[in-house]
């Protein structure tokens, strides 16, 4: 049963967001790392994200039952009841919010709260109605690095805005790759997504646009003086490779396989981006 509650929090999402939040924290901290603040930020944010994932599962149980990759979730199978899910999600949110409020910064608390609001009260209901819900979900998913950053500086500045934009652009390319790969599942669930509404080719073009925007946003951290030139060179190469892989999508015969490769490479991109930010913060060259 404990394992079912654990997976109800979507641990993969929590770990991924912890990585981006860590990058944001290091960008703000440089070599002056406050370990207690870092742990409090990660713990509080992880609990808040876990709560949002649990509550989102409650909203999406009917959709999840129609999709191959989600039909065995504990709320769908009945292993965890709806009331227990509500209680579990509420406790996680209370604990996470309390830690962020008392042990990090007010800006971090409100940034995390804004992410939860967009995810649960805008993205969750609107994804059944509009193709543009993906962008709203990207806004929610872009808050963790901002939380990491402002937990240290306690204000929204240029770097926080750039981090936010980087994650929005990355997520759009990432999500659209998933949408192409899982297009039949989304059709069966009745969810309006870009490749269903406007076609796969149009979605591929948008992926390229977002990859370009992502690369420009990444390099702007150096332009505004927040990172140095090793980082700049690394992210420029990373963005170029990602873009070239995206271009191959117009020549493939198996679009699902191409989309899977784009999805997996997007994970490599965000992981190495965060590593480059952390390395830059430590060595500063």
Per-residue pLDDT of 125-161, as tens digits, reads: 888 788 889 999 999 999 999 999 999 999 999 999 9
Q: Is the pLDDT of residue 209 over 70?
A: yes
Per the document, the length of the chain is 285
Q: How far apart are CA 221 and CA 235, in angstroms?
A: 11
State whether 3 and 117 are in the same domain. Answer: yes
Cα pseudo-dihedral 75, 78, 79, 81, rounded to 10: 70
Considering the domain architecture, whether residues 246 and 127 belong to the same structural domain is answered as no
How many other CB atoms are there within 10 angstroms of residue 85's CB atom? 19
Which domain does 185 fall in, by range? Answer: 157-285
Which two tokens mark 136?
A: 């709203």
Same domain, 11 and 132: yes
Judge if 209 and 283 occupy the same domain: yes
The domain that holds 73 is classified in CATH as: 1.10.357.140
Say yes or no: 137 and 161 in one domain.
no
Pair (214, 145) in one structural domain: no
> Over 90: is that where the pLDDT of 166 sits?
yes
**pLDDT value for 21:** 98
- Calpha distance 74→3 (Å, rounded): 10
The per-residue pLDDT for 83 is 86
Considering the chain, what percentage of its residues have pLDDT values greater than 70? 95
Query: How many structural domains are present in the chain?
Result: 2
**Is 91 in the same domain as 185?**
no
Q: Residue 77: what pLDDT?
A: 72
Q: Are 159 and 28 in contact (CB under 8 A)?
A: yes
Single out the residue in 110, 137, 153 at which a domain terminates.
153
pLDDT reading at 67 higher than 70: no
């Amino acid at each position: 049963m404990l394992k079912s509650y654990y997976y109800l929090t979507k641990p993969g999402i929590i770990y991924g967001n912890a990585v981006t939040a860590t990058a944001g924290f290091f960008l703000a901290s440089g070599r002056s790392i406050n370990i207690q603040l870092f742990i409090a930020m990660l713990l509080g944010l992880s609990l808040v994200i876990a709560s949002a994932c649990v509550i989102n599962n409650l909203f999406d149980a009917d959709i999840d039952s129609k999709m191959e990759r989600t039909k065995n979730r504990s709320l769908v199978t009945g292993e965890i009841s709806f009331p227990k899910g509500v209680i579990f999600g509420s406790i996680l949110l209370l604990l996470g919010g309390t830690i962020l409020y008392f042990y990090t910064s007010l800006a971090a608390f409100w940034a995390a709260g804004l992410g939860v609001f967009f995810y649960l009260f805008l993205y969750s209901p609107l994804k059944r109605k509009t193709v543009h819900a993906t962008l709203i979900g990207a806004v929610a998913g872009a808050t963790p690095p901002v939380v990491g950053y402002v937990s240290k500086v306690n204000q929204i500045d240029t770097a926080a805005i750039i981090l936010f934009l980087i994650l929005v652009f990355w997520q759009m390319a990432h999500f659209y790759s998933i949408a192409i790969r899982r297009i039949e599942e989304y059709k069966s669930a009745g969810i309006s997504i870009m490749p269903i509404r406007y076609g796969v080719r149009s979605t591929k073009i948008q992926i390229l646009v977002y990859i370009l925007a992502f690369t420009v946003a990444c390099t702007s951290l150096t332009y505004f003086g927040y990172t140095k030139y090793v980082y700049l060179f690394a992210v420029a190469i990373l963005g170029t490779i990602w873009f070239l892989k995206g271009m191959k999508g117009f020549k493939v015969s198996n679009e699902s396989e191409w989309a899977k490769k784009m999805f997996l490479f997007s994970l490599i991109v965000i992981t190495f981006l965060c590593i480059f930010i952390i390395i830059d913060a430590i060595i500063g060259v």
